Amino acid sequence: MFYHPVGGFSHVPAWKTGADRWELIVSRRFESLTFKSSDDSIRPFTPEQAKEIVMSLQKPAVFCNMTFDWPVLHWNVSYLANLFKGKRIRFRIGKKDMGTAPLFETECSYVEATLEEFLAWSGRQPSCSSGPFKAYDLHKYWTYADYKYIAQLFEDKPEHFQDVVWSDFGFEGRNGRDSTLWIGSRGANTPCHLDSYGCNLVLQVQGRKRWYLYPPEDSSFLCPTRFPYEESSVFSKVNVVDPDLRSYPQFKKAQAHVMTLEPGQVLFVPRHWWHYVESIDPITVSVNSWIELGADHEARVEEAITRTLICAVKSIENPAASDAWLNPTEVEITSHETNLKYLNGAVSAYLEHKKTSTIEYRLSGSQDAEGILQDPCKKRKIQANPEAQDIRVKPCESHLARIKTKNMGENPFGPNLLQVLPQSQKTHAKEIAEQSSQGLLSGNDGRFGKLHPAGNTFGKDSDSRAFVDQKDTNLSADSSKTVISTNDLLDCVLHPCVVSLMAHLLLERTSV
């Protein structure tokens, strides 16, 4: 379905309808066609081209001039406040000065408020009461209505689903129903994490956001953890904007890709890229959609293993020693029986997908498959009867790297597709020098292992010994004192590359 600025939505491409005279322009880029109207409005990529870029590119990039006629660009907070008319939504509140530790969602405050109250608190609507926000100083705190499913927010206004036109990126039928909404104040942020499933398209609507992105091969430098636990999110223990290099010296080796996303631009976040996101204007609005991939079949097995183990261990821990390990986005701790059902369902779906893909490959004699799962959400929540879920999909490739490009040149970047370039790590040079002089690195990198896209590379024994050696000073005072917590143990057991190995062994066992 395509959006036409005059005729609305149609199954006929916009450039083939309407009263305007449209002219064809031959574009040598990608050796194909783009289209231009008499009013000079340009969409630089056809839906097929945009989709091919998303499915082929493995580096973050920014699409420009692709959304100029999307109605969602009118979704500033004032417009939404008038549209919702007093509807209360949940806001997350955090301190702007959070030090060198990341501020996870388990450590934030939460309030239910209207967008009118949010506007009043932010100083954009002084005639209105700020309600529950009045207890928080605007100069000391930020607030974030994050991860709001548009399908739920607009359940009584479904006509607005069509304001978001992901079909222009080649994902036919995908719109606001398949998207989430993010509204924040200056300083509002999402802790650094990677998404276990799919890739991500993010449209900036109002204000600007700064993104810090790190490639999958930097995972060991970011110290991955599953605490707090949230299905499909692997968090970093490092505050990437103000890192504690004494505790995490390896972070200095991570290569940040930093960019500022402007209104109207769409950021493509490839599979398994780490990202920290922060609002840098007084008010920001974003809309995103996760594009699930064939490789997510195996990722769902890994996530099922993670949930089964973490729930089993944390559920029997002494309540007096328990912490807030479950992220607020997770409704409840699921039972071991439910988790095993989910694991069995994920394994069955993977094996069925593999079998169907093999048959399709033999019939077609080609690997030119889309590799897309039509599921709008980042997560697939646990259900009591996972076998009842219809999670079979059409045959597709299991890894993004296997998808071949046909028309796209080796360098697709240009004025309408901006590459997010790496930024040299120049910050905290003094701290790095001090740590090096104190011999904190002890001649090796102390890492447990790297998470590569294939997920099967582990650190050597010397690396593990180095990690233990760094703790010797703490152990020498009282060797009988317990210094390894449940979370320490689970951080090792649930390390992404360990879970990946467990998934491979489990799948090998069940496929015999």
Kindly indicate the confidence band of residue 99, based on its pLDDT and cuts at 50, 70 and 90.
confident
Predicted pLDDT of residue 481: 60
**Cα separation, 183 vs 206, whole angstroms:** 9
* E strand segments, 46-102: 61-63, 89-95
Region of 143 (left: φ > 0; alpha: ψ -120 to 50; beta: rest) is beta
Mean pLDDT score across all residues of the chain: 78
Nearest to 81 by CA among 40, 47, 124, 38: 124
pLDDT tops 90 at residue 56: yes
Q: 240-251 burial, b if ≥16 CB within 10 A, otherwise e?
A: bbebbbeebbbb
Cis previous bond, 71, omega within 30: no
Predicted pLDDT of residue 23: 32
Residue 443 DSSP code: T
Kindly indicate the confidence band of residue 442, based on its pLDDT and cuts at 50, 70 and 90.
very low
Kindly indicate the confidence band of residue 357, based on its pLDDT and cuts at 50, 70 and 90.
confident
Q: What is the pLDDT of residues 272-310, one digit of tens each?
A: 999 999 999 999 999 999 998 999 999 999 999 999 999
Beta carbons within 8 Å of 238's beta carbon, 6+ residues apart:
102, 192, 222, 223, 244, 248, 251
Return phi, psi of residue 339, to 5°: -65, -40
CA torsion angle 369 373 376 377 (round to 10): -130
- Please report, for residues 232, 331, 425, the alpha-carbon distance to residue 327 in angstroms, rounded to integers and kept in the order given: 12, 8, 31
**Cα separation, 468 vs 36, whole angstroms:** 63
Percentage of the chain lying above the pLDDT 70 cut? 69
Identify residue 276 by its one-letter amino acid code: Y
Lowest mean pLDDT among 139-153, 210-224, 286-300, 400-414: 400-414
Return phi, psi of residue 198, to 5°: 65, -170
Identify residue 432 by its one-letter amino acid code: I
Q: What is the mean pLDDT of residues 370-385?
A: 44
Kindly indicate the confidence band of residue 324, based on its pLDDT and cuts at 50, 70 and 90.
confident
Q: What is the mean pLDDT of residues 71-81?
A: 97
Lowest mean pLDDT among 254-263, 310-319, 439-448: 439-448
Predicted pLDDT of residue 422: 94
Identify residue 480 by its one-letter amino acid code: S
pLDDT tops 90 at residue 158: yes
Kindly indicate the confidence band of residue 322, based on its pLDDT and cuts at 50, 70 and 90.
low
Are 136 and 188 spatial neighbours (Cβ–Cβ below 8 Å)?
Answer: no
Pick the more confident residue, 181 or 33.
181
pLDDT tops 80 at residue 16: no
Q: What is the mean pLDDT of residues 67-94?
A: 96
- The pTM assigned to this predicted structure is 0.77
Nearest to 452 by CA among 496, 397, 396, 400: 496
